Amino acid sequence: MNILKTVAIAAVSVIALAACKPAAYDSTADAAEVAALNQSWAAAYNAGDADGVANLYADDGVVMPPGASALVGRDAIRDFIATDSANSKAAGLTMNIASTDMGVTPDLAWDRGSFTVTDAAGATVDSGNYVSVIKKVDGKWMLFRDIWNSDKAPAPAAEPAAEPAAS
């Protein structure tokens, strides 16, 4: 009789566990936070706030800008952004970001979008695309990997100087 009772309890337990599904993840709030992070990035960049931009990245964040080596860590990111945003600000340029595709899980997100750079008259002087990987660190969304590229072709390499003619 004990065997039947044990089997019955085990069967009921299995059925009960099978009926317990984790609640579906609603990414709406996290997606809104990730979208706001991007807009914070653009606002800080346009203001020349390198600390503000750098503080949006995780400690181990990596940025891969066009025409430059990968920047690893907040200090390297801050140094790059300080120079880049100051140059843009001095030239009267503004960065605009538009997300076109996003995926969010409870701890990791990715965002793909486009950017335009406009001059003081509103004319587009550059445009391109970006992909960002964002992770949750201590409950806060932080940029983790960030890469962007320009739609413009790179400038041609300079021709090497001609060697002096032999006498």
Give the pTM. 0.77
Q: What percent of the chain has pLDDT over 70?
A: 83
**Residue 1 pLDDT > 60:** no
Question: What is the per-residue pLDDT for 100?
Answer: 93
**Residue 15 pLDDT > 80:** no
CA distance 32 to 109: 11
**Residue 165 pLDDT > 80:** no
**Residue 139 pLDDT > 80:** yes
- For the stretch 46-69, pLDDT in tens is 999 999 999 999 999 999 999 899
Question: What is the per-residue pLDDT for 24?
Answer: 80
Question: What is the per-residue pLDDT for 153?
Answer: 77
Beta-carbon neighbour count of residue 35 at 10 Å? 17
- Residue range 64-77: mean pLDDT, rounded: 94
DSSP assignment letter at 161: P
> Both tokens of residue 112?
């793909």
More confident position, 165 or 30:
30
Question: What is the per-residue pLDDT for 26?
Answer: 83
Find the range with the poorest average confidence among 5-14, 38-47, 94-103, 104-113: 5-14
Q: What percent of the chain has pLDDT over 90?
A: 71
What's the whole-number average pLDDT of the chain? Answer: 88
pLDDT tier, 25 (very low <50, low <70, confident <90, very high otherwise): confident
CATH class of 28-150: alpha beta
CA distance 106 to 156: 44
**Tally of CA atoms within 13 A in the half-sphere of 148 that contains its CB:** 18
